[in-house]
Structure 1
Amino acid sequence: MSWATAHSGFNVIRGLIFSILMLMQSGCMSVTPQSFETAAVTVPAAWSAADGVAKAGNASLAQWWVRFNDPLLANLVSQAMLTNTSVKSAQAALRQARALRDVSAAALWPTLDSSASAQRGKLGNNSAVNKFTTGLDAAWELDIFGANRSALETSEATARASAASLGDVQVSIAAEVALDYITLRDAQARLEIAKNNLASQQETLQITQWRLQAGLITSIEAEQARTAVEQLRAVLPGLQTNIEQTSHALAVLTGQPPAALLMQLAVVQSVPEVANDLALSIPAETLRQRPDVRASEHEVAAALGRVQQAEAARLPNFRLSGSLGLNAMTLDTLTNGASLVSSVMADISMPIFDAGSRRAQVRAQQAALDQTLMTYKTTVLTALQEVEDALVALRGDRERLLRLEDATEAAGNAALLARQRYSSGLVDFQVVLETQRAQLTTQASKASARADVSADHVRLYKALGGGWRPDDNDVPPTPIETPSRSSRL
């Protein structure tokens, strides 16, 4: 092909592109939705259950587990962030999403391939003939109606959703580690309470046996005392089992074999507590800090991009391609100007009849968008409920702890007086049994209430976003809008 012919071909392509641009300017082929309706969720101005629980403010919750002043807890959470299998899986999913985004971005650019070949052939009795070729092939799909741009926007939204999902996994794992750790320390505290009460009841059993030998009581009281001791002993194995199983759970959460932390966690420590100085952000700001809500927002953006892709698939597709190469019989003549071969081509493809397949694909993607919107609304409402529930639970458990502290003090005094008076023969054994049972129950309830308050703080920190912050690339998505029913096909 001569250079004049190639130049003429470029003129044809230039004229074709000019016609396409003029057609786009007329607006008759735009796939941009013509009207929108906002998919809003009503968010309250303030938390209804925050009175007396936390003050208004916007304190950072980053690394909230440090607030418990427990170095071992902080170390376990940090280790889980590095080695937990769910976190690593979410990180791999994020890498995949970002790689697919780069694939979509590359589709906006031309492609250039190179090739080279050497061939030797012979026909009949003729002499062998050599053929050498080398060249470059270029192609570019003109994204006239934005199909590739919509694909890129969809991939970008998916990548942002994956980044937020990683944050959601990290927030959940940190909370799960903290809750299991509190459960373990609570079980250890209740085990110590049971052992202390067992020692007290064994002393009572000894007193009962002395009184039986002296003929001051019958064997009924002695058997009742022995029953109380054995019943309390039966509680100890269950508490120890709970401690070891929770240790196994913590080890797995930190990416270790189940028995890896048994020795480290065997050292008894008190339930970690946090100061009551939490500053609550307003509901709207809380929703922006929750990774699951942000992930759901980006999923909506991705679904909207898929609708636009389906719309663009119904419109013409334009493609430019060309090649430039050398073709010669010998290597010496390969660089000769006469061996130059060039071609250029422009093609257009347009769907004419598909039995309604592409139109149905648009409706399918629109329905998927509607589902994603409902999922987003559910996520927002669930987030609001989780915060309100955590605030209610924290307020109730604080009140319960105050009452149980008073009850525990009274029960301890009653048990001490009953044992002293029983030793003096002033009360019968039933009074001793009742006071000892009440003491054990109130002490265990107080320990559980203290653990519940700490656990309530963990759940509240998680509900408020768990200290997650989007990185600089995770900008807030545009207001969620969907095509109106009148513009749907």
Structure 2
Amino acid sequence: MFKKLPLLIGMATLLGGCAIGDFEPAPAPEAPPSYRNADAAVPGNLERNWWRMYQDPVLDHLVESILERNPYTAFGELHVAEAEAGVDATSADLLPQLGFGAGVDKSHSSTNTPLGELLGNRTIDGKTYRAGVNAGWQLDLWGRIAQAVEVARAHQGMAEATRRSVEIILSREVAVAYWQFRTAEADQRLLQQQYKAHAEALRLLQLRLDAGLETEQRLIEVRVAQAGVEAEIEAAEVKRLMAEQELAILMVEPVQDFRVATQPDYALPDIPRIAPGLPATILSRRPDLMMSAQELRALLAMERIAETAFYPSISLTGAFGFASTELRTLSDNASREYSLGPLSLYLPVFDAGRNRANLKVARARYRQAVNVHKVNVLIALREVDDALVQVQAARTQVAALGNAAEAGDRGTVVAEARYDQGQDSYLKVLEARVEALETRRKQIHSHSEGLLATAHLVEALGGGWDESGAGPTAVASND
């Protein structure tokens, strides 16, 4: 029997191989050599704590505190721990399983049986003590268990990508909410200055109207403008409060107890200039692409598992222990007993097409995931290019509006000089001041959009990392 076993296994393997046919894994998707809208490379790396590139201690404290305290961070860690335990549990099936057993049984035979009649209607009473070790091992000749371990490791990779995704999303949300808070704060300051300028203009216009030197139409126009500014002040306050409350939720604190310290002289930092590196790097950096790749890994392993259903399975069991009718003699050499086997071989012969259908399902799922992964890569590359365009556009707008703001400030100085020389009324000064303040507001909004775009760019690139030359780099822009 045992001499013919290798021949049977070989024949079964040949038949199984003919049944499953050829199957080749899909090649990895290719990335272009560079981004369409990338700047020239800049030395250095975007660090894992990428938010420090803004050089704002308050933001640094908020991000690092939230990453430490937010429940989603703990969720990510626990998800990884669960996946690691799953790998250990699945890997255990590769090794023999041992178990210890002990027991006692008592028997009493019936007299109303042929054996009882043969014994002259006497009974047989007995007691047996047993103790020993049982062992079992399923030989993984075709890699079914090894592929199951591969699936578990893929799930572990997905869990690690989830943890990384949580870190990136949380840090990006903090940065976005913080810049929205600071922008609303700066907007309020400029609007309040505009409101004061309108109030002063109204006072002067009322005096001129009372003296018959001005029309009421001019007064109405300024009042309408002042009312509009007042409404914008309230809208800016709402934006400031909503951003602060968003930070409170991220910090896991009651909104009524959380405050971000105001800074009356705060100036938004320069928009960092980020060099994204090579497009191929995001294939292994972006958490969503990492999860997609790990899903492919798991589905490919599941396809391999479906293939093994066509091959024979072999398992071996055995036992060694002691048995005795007396507890005191249980450990004697004469009480030893053992068994080796059965050595079982199971070969699928007829299953009404179940194994073939399962294999088709596994291959179809894998091919679907391949196509989804290709689309995900294209979307990721597009998101990086979109963010690069937004950052560059904001930087250009900030520079242009900066020039316009300087011209507006110069116009205010000229208007004040003409007023001092008696060439114009003070109303001209107020009008020039309001116009210059409005230009400053537009510049701040564009500046804020640039900062928000850099945070989204970091997310699109898969966050920061520390390996030399592996990821995006950043320096502050001097534009």
Are the equivalent residues in 2 in contact too, given 1:212–1:219 (CA < 8 A)? yes
Report what 1:328 is aligned to.
324
Which residue of the partner structure matches residue 306 of structure 1? 302
The worse-fitting range, judged by mean Cα deviation, of 190-199 and 110-119 is: 110-119
Q: How do 1:195-214 residues align onto structure 2 when only pairs under 5 Å count?
A: 195-214=192-211
Separation of aligned partners in 1, 2:289 and 2:233: 44
Aligned to 1:70: 56
**Mapping 1:341-420, distance limit 5 Å:** 341-344=337-340, 345-414=342-411
CA deviation profile, 1:431-475 (whole Å, cap 9, x unmatched): 7897566444322211011112222222222222211479xxxxx
TM-score by length of 2: 0.84
Match of 2:471 in 1: none
2:93 maps to 1:107: yes
Superposed counterparts of 1:21-420, under 5 Å: 29=17, 34=22, 36=24, 38-50=26-38, 53-55=39-41, 59-120=45-106, 129-262=126-259, 264-268=260-264, 270=266, 272-274=268-270, 276=272, 278-344=274-340, 345-414=342-411
Structure 1 residue 306: Cα displacement: 0.5
Q: Report the CA distance between 1:42 and its aligned residue.
A: 3.6
C-alpha displacement of 1:326:
2.1
Amino acid of the structure 2 residue aligned with 1:36: E
Alignment RMSD (CA, Å): 3.3
Change in CA separation of 1:35 and 1:29 when aligned onto 2, cut-off 3 Å: closer
Q: Percent identity?
A: 26
Q: Is the 8 A contact 1:67 1:275 kept in 2?
A: no
CA contact (8 A) 1:317 1:349 kept: yes
Contact 2:132 2:320 in 1 (8 A): yes
Contact 1:58 1:281 in 2 (8 A): no
CA apart distance, 1:186: 0.8
Preserved contact between residue 13 and residue 312 of structure 2 (Cα < 8 Å):
no
Q: 1:27 & 1:56 partners in 2: Cα distance? A: 59
Unpaired runs of at least 5, structure 1: 1-11, 471-489
What is the CA–CA distance in structure 2 between the aligned matches of 1:271 and 1:374, rounded to whole Å? 47
CA distance in 1 between counterparts of 2:229 and 2:75 reads 45
CA distance in 2, matches of 1:102, 1:33: 32
Q: Deviations over 1:295-349 (max 9, x none)?
A: 3222211110010011112322111011122222221122233333322211122
Letter in 1 for 2:402: E
Q: Which amino acid aligns with 1:207?
A: L
Q: What are the ranges of 5 or more consecutive residues in structure 2 without an aligned counterpart?
A: 111-121, 468-479
Please report the TM-score for the alignment, with normalisation by the length of structure 1. Answer: 0.82
| CA–CA distance in structure 2, aligned partners of residues 21 and 147 of structure 1 | 16
Q: 1:32 to 1:293 in 2, by over 3 A?
A: farther
- Displacement, 1:93? 1.8
